[in-house]
Structure 1
């Protein structure tokens, strides 16, 4: 391997070993005397769905780049297994600060995996730019800040605890956008950040897995899961149908675009996540799913042409219009829906103003915290100590993985050695 490729032989294993030792020691001292919580056996199947969604679904969902497949799936798996343990540690420390008894059980594991969704979404924004050390550091910082933001929402803004976890979409999208804005832009001649039919096929495969398991994600932290799962299924179905319809309408030749299907079919699940518990009529879930798909596809056109170039945002996998904008729509739509529910239940109408203020305050707090801390994190990730990748080496598996000549040749569209030599830029 050329000398200009820095080696991560020491930095990555040492960092992983240090973190694993920290997690192990904290688990040894914190959990032996803690009561183990047991929950109904039907919780584990839902946890399996969420686990498959985060590891397998999002792992393939991020395979949008033609020469970054190993890193998309491999780094996602590494971050998830480290981040789940980190989430345990952060929640444990927050409980100690709040003078609560430590509790270890399936519910804690579920909360940890759900929290990791924020990191997975943020990873999509910096996809191909950050090296493993930077990604691990980003994971640790983001999980800590997300749990603090969630604690602020639940303690001071009186947001229900299960709803604070649904802010993972808002937090993950805008944290990732803020981080990626601190990375240098790739040179204009670099075309490694484009996709191929094969990479798009794998990415849509991951999208389908996320789509199938999303009802479990929205309902796993709720007591009445069936109502939330039903609302999510309806919203996802309508958003998928609308994605195909709008894709054909917005394309120049009337053909479907895989990029639209890749992002818009999930918009309904993101939008409904804030209101799945309180929706009383199926048509409301279906309208939210339709609006989520509309804002995703139209937002992709507007953002990529009007906002991303002047703001110098390199949203590699489109997390802003896949998760960010639908999450904003869902969070805003939740405010009038909760007000209407309070009125129908003849609750204390004098508290509606405070309820609305707290709901909007939680949205603003989550987005602002994500943007500010994301900018600070992005600046930290680009210090020399973390071995920032040169812009000419963005979006390249060979920088981190052993890649065979045949695989390089196939990714470049040819199988012969002469084709490989003609495309020797991959090796340089």
Structure 2
């Protein structure tokens, strides 16, 4: 292994210590006062979101047979750093610029954990290709860009805070795809860019955790109609899971279920219904959205992976486009349609109810693509010692294996 990569890893601890020292100093100056506010979020609700982000997404990305240590370990690293950054940025944008009333600590950290979903989703696009410093830089830039996008949506377009937060799926997917387009594409013959039954099982374990806790994710930041959001989210998830099994069987050449289809499509309903979970009046609407989302996730994977992604030279390592991106687009459009139908008699407000959410949707995707593309260019500079293609999807490049097991 070239010596420059050994030196690069020796610098890593000092980079992390420097970042943590800066964060501690900033927290000292910005959060010195006592928090006298009564929390509007219960600890169990925060715990559900924390389980999703740390445990659920950590194991969700363990499908690569030689990248399990890095998938879970780096996920934890960027989340714990990113949550601290997110709290600071939310404070500066929300309280210094917009002069909003201060929030209690539990709500603050819950919003930061939800925001980090964008970063975890983006990480899936460059899984196995980006080194730890590239991931940390990507996380910091993305969380800043995401909060700036939210701030514009809230202050200029008057989008509600909960709706702007649900753009986390869209932002994470398209930011990650833009970053991924700047990395060298791995060889299609490589054996490491594959899964094993054991890695697929661990990944499905993460999917199950995400599935179980997703109703909390969609309802935790809502000020009202929390129960309705949980109710609708569960039915959307249930129908998307059933549809995933149906479509997996119908599209398989050998007439057997494919774990990759189940792994991605069972969550699509939760992503889609998140935008309108609190305004859907009847469960059958949420069920239809879950069915459509799962269909897009399964069928879209074939078209995108075989047609669009090769043409754009995008290697979507974990399929975030059809797991989070396209269902997110469907959810944003569904929220516009449902709001318009609910207020169709008020012609004076109809244009506002349609154009403003569409504007926020377009702004979110545009900011994600532009900042993601720029971030991809930056992290691939020689300064950041880009991982060679031959070391893609390889744990042993970063982690100690005393036994040096071949084919781990």
TM-score range, shorter chain: over 0.9
Specify whether residues 210 and 297 from structure 1 end up closer, same or farther in structure 2 by C-alpha distance, changes over 3 A only. same
Matched, 1:363 2:361: yes
1:424 paired residue number: none
Secondary structure of the residue that 2:6 maps to in structure 1? coil
Matched, 1:337 2:338: yes
Structure 2 counterparts to residues 167-316 of structure 1, below 5 A: 167-223=167-223, 224-316=225-317
In structure 2, distance between residues paired with 1:193 and 1:163:
36
In structure 1, distance between residues paired with 2:364 and 2:299:
24
In the TM superposition, residue 89 of structure 1 has moved relative to its aligned partner by 1.0
TM-score, normalised to structure 1, is 0.92
Deviation string, structure 1 residues 39-64 (Cα, Å, up to 9, x no partner): 25x61111101100100000000001
Structure 2 counterparts to residues 1-400 of structure 1, below 5 A: 3=3, 5-33=5-33, 35-39=35-39, 43-94=42-93, 95-100=95-100, 102-223=102-223, 224-343=225-344, 348-400=346-398
In the TM superposition, residue 16 of structure 1 has moved relative to its aligned partner by 1.3
Deviation string, structure 1 residues 171-193 (Cα, Å, up to 9, x no partner): 00000000000001123432211
In structure 1, distance between residues paired with 2:299 and 2:189:
28
Is contact 2:239-2:287 (8 Å) kept?
yes
RMSD of the alignment, in Å? Answer: 1.5
Is contact 2:172-2:368 (8 Å) kept?
yes
User: How many residue pairs align between the two structures?
Assistant: 406
Moved more, 196-205 or 29-38: 29-38
Specify whether residues 227 and 100 from structure 1 end up closer, same or farther in structure 2 by C-alpha distance, changes over 3 A only. closer
Matched, 1:409 2:406: yes
Is contact 1:34-1:101 (8 Å) kept?
no
In structure 2, distance between residues paired with 1:393 and 1:194:
14
Is contact 1:37-1:106 (8 Å) kept?
no
Is contact 1:34-1:104 (8 Å) kept?
no
Gaps (5+ residues) in structure 2? none
Is contact 2:182-2:376 (8 Å) kept?
yes
Which of these two proteins has the greater Rg computed from alpha carbons? 1
Secondary structure of the residue that 1:409 maps to in structure 2? coil
TM-score, normalised to structure 2, is 0.96
In the TM superposition, residue 31 of structure 1 has moved relative to its aligned partner by 1.1
In structure 1, distance between residues paired with 2:308 and 2:9:
39
Moved more, 30-39 or 234-243: 30-39
Is contact 2:5-2:385 (8 Å) kept?
no
In structure 2, distance between residues paired with 1:404 and 1:60:
23
Is contact 2:269-2:289 (8 Å) kept?
yes
Moved more, 174-183 or 354-363: 354-363
Is contact 1:61-1:205 (8 Å) kept?
yes
In structure 2, distance between residues paired with 1:342 and 1:23:
46
Secondary structure of the residue that 1:89 maps to in structure 2? helix
Deviation string, structure 1 residues 172-225 (Cα, Å, up to 9, x no partner): 000000000000112343221111111111101100000000000000001221
Deviation string, structure 1 residues 285-324 (Cα, Å, up to 9, x no partner): 0000000000000000111111111111110000000000
Specify whether residues 7 and 205 from structure 1 end up closer, same or farther in structure 2 by C-alpha distance, changes over 3 A only. farther
Structure 2 counterparts to residues 417-428 of structure 1, below 5 A: none
In structure 2, distance between residues paired with 1:188 and 1:230:
43
In the TM superposition, residue 22 of structure 1 has moved relative to its aligned partner by 1.4
Moved more, 25-34 or 71-80: 25-34
In structure 2, distance between residues paired with 1:21 and 1:100:
28
